[in-house]
A and B are shown apart, each in its own frame.
Chain A
Amino acid sequence: MTDGVVLLAHGSGGILSQELIENMFVRHHANDVLSGMEDAALVSLDDQAEARVAITTDSFVVQPLFFPGGDIGKLSVCGTVNDLAMRGARPLYLTSAYIIEEGFSLTELERIVVSQAATARAAGVRIVAGDTKVVERGSGDGIFINTAGVGLVPEGVHVSAANARPGDVVLLSGAIGDHGLAIMTRREGLQFSSPLRSDCAPLNDLVATMLRACPEIHVLRDPTRGGVATALNEIAQRSGVGIEIDEAQVPVHVPVQAAAELLGLDPLYVANEGKLLAIVPESAAGAVLQAMQSHTYGVEAAAIGRVVSSSPGRVVLRTPLGTRRLVDMLSGEQLPRIC
C-alpha cells in the first residue's frame, strides 16, 4: 500500500516490525548471532570460550515521560536489564545515551537521571559510559534514551527462544497489561477510579531466583511491545512447537480488564515492562512457580499453558467456555475500535 515509507506500525512490535527487522537489518548485517533474533546476543570475547557474554541495546521513546509506576529513566534501565536477564544472564554494566530536544526542562531531566540511577542501583548494575546529544527544537520529542547492556550467563544455563520443547509448562510471572494501559490512559487523559500503574521493574533478581530453583529453564521472554500474544508466537515459531494457553489462568487485574474493554483492546496484546514468560520442563514447573511466587515481582505468577507438538508455530487459546481459538501475532498498531 505504502511501499516507500516507514509507518508507525513498523514500530509496534508485531508482524510489520518483524518484517522490517528481517528484511532490512538482519539481511544487511547478517551473521549467525544476530540472526537468532533473541532479546540479547550471546558472544564470546575469546574465540575458544563458550559464548557467555550477553549484549543488548534498547531505545526508549515513551510519551508521557512520567507515568504512574515509572518514567522514561526507570524504563531505560529495566528494558535493557530485562533483555539481558531473558537469556539467563546476570546484568553487569550499562551505557546510557540521551538525545535531548532544545528547550527541555533541566528539572525534568534531573528527575529522569535520578530515577535512572536509582533503578540501576536497585537492579545491581552500573552505568559505566554515556553520551549526550542536543537536537534543535522540533527535531525530537522532548527526550529519547538509548541504553546498552552487558551481562554474563552462568555456566550450565542455556536459555533461548528456540528451546521450548513439547511437554514443557508455560509460566507467567504476574498480571498482564498494566504498563500499556497505564501509558495509554495517561496519554489520552482517561480517568479511572482506580488508577492504573505501570508494572515497570527490573527482573534480573527474579530470574536469578528462578534459575536457582531450576538451572534448566528453557525459555525466558519479557512480553513488552505486542504483549504476551506476540511473545508466545515468537517462541512457537523459533522453537517450531505449538503452545496452548488457558485463558482462565492468565492473570489480569480488574481495572486493566475494564480499561481494555472500554478501549476495545485485548490485554494479551498490551505491553508489559515488569513481567516475564518462562517455559520450563514439566518436572521443574512446580519448583520454579513456587520460586517465582516467593519473589516480589512474581507474587501473582501462574502456570498458563503448555508446549505441544501439534500445530507448530501456532498459539492456541482455550476460552473459559471450553472452545478453542487461535492467538495471532499483533499485526500493526493496536488501535481502539469505534463502537
Chain B
Amino acid sequence: MTHMESFRDPATARRLIDAILRQVTGSLRVIEFCGGHTHAIMRYGLRDALAPQVTLLSGPGCPVCVTASADIDQAIALSQRPEITLATFGDMIRVPGTKTSLQGARAEGSDIRVVYSALDALQLARELPAREIVMLGIGFETTAPTIAAAIAQARAESLKNWSVYSMHKLTTPAMRAILDAGEVAVDAVLGPGHVAAITGWEAWSFLATEYGVSCAVAGFEPTDILQALLACAQDKAAGQPRVTNSYGRGVSAEGNLVAQGLMAQVFTTADAAWRGLGIIPDSGLAIAPEYAAFDARARYALPGLAEGPLDAEAALGCRCGEVLRGVVEPAGCPLFGTACTPAHPVGPCMVSAEGSCAAHYRYQGVVA
C-alpha cells in the first residue's frame, strides 16, 4: 500500500463510517467550505454512505464559482485590448460573464493563454516583451501567496510588461457571511485543508467561540474527510463545539508564516464582490500601493470593484447563489440537468470542476 493508498483504504473508511453513524443519534448537518471536499465527497460516494443521518451541504469554496460576472466582464474587456495578452488558470475560461466567457472571447480573437502558475505568466512576460501580460489573480489563501511571490519577483526583475488583475478572496469572511445570514443551520463546518495549511487551523477557531459551530479541518482523501466528520459527530454528541485539526500532516496551528508574510507584503485587504454572496467587506486582497506598477487596476485605470451585475445568470433562473450559500442543493435548481449541464452551463457552479453542481451532475446524474 502506498502512502496515498493508506488514506483510501476501504476497511479504514468502513470503520470510520460505522463510527460516525454510531455517534449520530439524531442528525448531523455539516457544510463543507471547500469545492475540493465537495468533489472528493461525491467522487467517493460518501454522501450516500452517510445518508440519511448525516447531511453534507456544499459551501462557497470554489474560487471560480464565486467570481462575480462583473469581474469576468472586466477580464474580457482587458483581453480585447490589442496590446494585452491575458494569462489565466484554465478553470476560469468557461465561466460566464454577462454576455460571454473568456473562452468565447478567445474564439473571437482575444489573446488568452492558459497557465498553470503565476510563474508561467512571468515567463510569458519575459518571452513576449512587446506584449502586456495581465495575469488573472484568482483563488483563496491557497493561491494568493504564489501570486504574491510572482509579483515580488516581477519587481525584483523590474519587469515592465506584467501585472495582475487581483480577484483574490479570503475564506473566513465568506464563512462568517454565510452564518450571519442565518439561512442555513449547521452543526459543523468541514474546514478547508489547503487553506488552513496557509492560515493555520487557529484562524478557524472563531466558529466554535463566536458561532457555537464545530469545525474540523480536513484533508482531501476519503479517510481524511471521514476522520474530520467523526470529530464533528463526537462534538455534537458531547454538546461541545470545538475546532479540531484532522489534517495534521498538512496543517499546523499557526500555518505557513512565510506565505502569510508574502501576502501581507504584497496585498492589502479590500472589499470584494462574491457571486452569490454579494459584496463582503474586507474579504478580498487588493495589490498594495507599493506594488501599484504590477496592479492591473492601477495600470489600466479600472475601478476597485468591477461595475456590473455580480451574478448575471440569476436573471435566467440560475440558483448558483443559493447553492454557494448551502441554501439549496444543486438538484433544487430548476435548471439543473435540463437547461444547465456541464456541456452547456448557465451558472459557474456547473462550469468549474470544483463547482458543486458539476460534482453532483458528474457523479450522481439527474435523479428523475
Contact = CB atoms under 8 A, between A and B. Distances in A.
Contact of B139 (A1, A323, A338): A338
A320 B91 contact: no
A143 to B, nearest CB: 22
Given A2-B103, A188-B116, A338 B143 contact: yes
A15 interface: yes
Interface string A60-99: 0000000000000000000000000000000000000000
B203 interface: no
Contacts of A332: 94, 342-343
Interface stretch (A4-12, A111-119, A291-299): A4-12
A321 B222 contact: yes
A2 B101 contact: yes
Contact of B45 (A1, A7, A325, A338): A325
Contacts of A320: 8, 10
Interface stretch (B183-191, B317-325, B356-364): B356-364
Given A1-B96, A8-B107, A188-B116, A15 B194 contact: no
A8 B104 CA distance: 10
Q: Which range holds the interface residue count of chain A?
A: 35 or more
Nearest to A248: B10
Given A328-B365, A339-B63, A339-B194, A19 B343 contact: yes
Contact of A326 (B101, B344, B362): B362
Nearest to A311: B365
Contacts of A5: 104, 107-108
B274 to A, nearest CB: 16
A339 B343 contact: no
Interface in A165-211: 188, 190
A16 to B, nearest CB: 5
Contact of B116 (A190, A261, A331, A339): A190
A15 B343 contact: yes
Nearest to B220: A261
A333 B93 CA distance: 10
Contacts of B93: 335
Contacts of B63: 338-339
A1 B108 CA distance: 13
A60 B268 CA distance: 48
Interface in B26-69: 36, 42-46, 48-49, 63-64
Interface in B312-368: 341-344, 352-354, 361-365
B354 A338 contact: yes
A319 B343 contact: no
A9 B36 contact: no
B100 A2 contact: yes
Interface in A312-326: 314, 319-326
Given A328-B362, A337-B352, A339-B63, A321 B90 contact: no
A4 to B, nearest CB: 8
A45 interface: no
A338 B138 contact: yes
Contact of B114 (A324, A326, A335): A335
A5 B142 CA distance: 35
Interface string A277-288: 000000000000
Interface string B136-166: 0011101100000000000000000000000
Given A188-B116, A338-B64, A339-B63, A323 B44 contact: yes
Nearest to B2: A254
A43 B344 CA distance: 35
A16 B345 CA distance: 12
Contacts of A328: 342, 361-363, 365
A183 B190 CA distance: 36
Given A190-B116, A264-B353, A339-B142, A323 B101 contact: no
B89 interface: yes
B47 to A, nearest CB: 9
B305 interface: no
Contacts of A274: none
A314 B295 CA distance: 48
Contacts of A322: 10, 14
Contacts of B341: 15, 331
Given A319-B43, A323-B49, A326-B362, A339 B139 contact: yes
23 contacts: A1-B104, A8-B103, A8-B106, A15-B343, A16-B343, A190-B116, A314-B365, A319-B44, A320-B10, A321-B8, A321-B10, A323-B44, A325-B42, A325-B44, A325-B363, A326-B362, A326-B365, A328-B363, A332-B343, A337-B354, A338-B138, A338-B143, A339-B142
Per CB-CB distance, the 7 closest pairs between chain A and chain B, nearest first, are A323-B45, A335-B90, A2-B104, A331-B342, A15-B343, A331-B343, A339-B142
Interface of B: 2, 4, 8, 10, 13-14, 36, 42-46, 48-49, 63-64, 89-94, 96, 100-101, 103-104, 106-108, 114, 116, 120, 138-140, 142-143, 194, 222, 341-344, 352-354, 361-365
